[in-house]
Amino acid sequence: MSAQINPSILAADFANFERELGHIASADAAHVDVMDNHFVPNLTFGQPMVERLQAVSPIPLDLHLMIEDPDRWAPDFAAMGVWSVTFHAEAATAPVTLAKKLRAAGARAGIALRPGTPFSAVEEILGSFDQLLIMTVEPGFGGQRFMTETMPKLRQAHEFAKRTGLELQLQVDGGITTDTIGIAAEHGADTFVAGSAVFRGEPAEQIEALRQAAAQHTHE
């Protein structure tokens, strides 16, 4: 798979989301961080905002739910017609059942791991998912430093998917720049969330630069 770039709108201009989404139309998807100020110490977008973003976005929405009780709330987001919904393994009580509900609603199902959560926490259930998100920072805030210590877990996930023949996108989120994206690509990531690295320059140019940097380091 070629490198997928999903800019995080957490770094966009909140007062001009429709314009900002237009600026990243060359990306593969718009990454939307939904935070509830409980699972993580920050509050971002609720359901009405996501529904509006879905209506105006020229590219698919890739939702990352950093919320408590995703078993209750995640299906409502999937029902809005978004492309992908990822929830945290640490927050879900019945992740496989939830993945089935998301897929039944027409969304891709993703599961995320915080930096301190081992790959073994999800290894046996990955066949129920389309995507595994390895957090490369602690979830909750943008602009953090890329944690290289998460790379062995990413490599473990890549080798597992390769060994078992599992079709699974491996996404990384946190501190992704043209300097760090190659590290993640070398360890097996194929989908990259970048916020500041996209929106602090000319978005279309930054997206292409990230895509090229990842392509130079793709891990087979």
Residue pLDDT, tens place only, 1-20? 689 999 999 999 999 999 99
Edge to edge, the sheet with strand 108-113 lists: 4-7, 191-194, 169-173, 131-135, 108-113, 84-88, 61-66, 30-35
139: its two tokens: 């979830």
Q: Which of 33, 36, 62, 190 is catalytic?
A: 33
Confidence of residue 115 (pLDDT cuts 50, 70, 90): very high
Residue pLDDT, tens place only, 130-189? 999 999 999 877 667 899 999 999 999 999 999 999 999 999 999 999 999 999 999 999
Q: Which pairing describes strands 169-173 and 61-66: parallel, antiparallel, or unpaired?
A: unpaired
What is the separation of C-alpha 119 from the centre of its chain, rounded to a whole number of angstroms? Answer: 16
Query: What is the pTM for the complete model shown?
Result: 0.95
Buried b / exposed e over 75-94, threshold 16 CB at 10 Å, is bebbbbebbbbbbbbebbee
Q: What is the pLDDT of residue 107?
A: 98
Structural element, H or E, at residue 51: helix 47-56
Q: Which of 28, 62, 173, 190 is catalytic?
A: 173
65: nearest Cα among 5, 119, 25, 112: 112
42: its two tokens: 């920050």
Residue 173 among the catalytic residues:
yes
Helix, strand, or coil (residue 166): coil
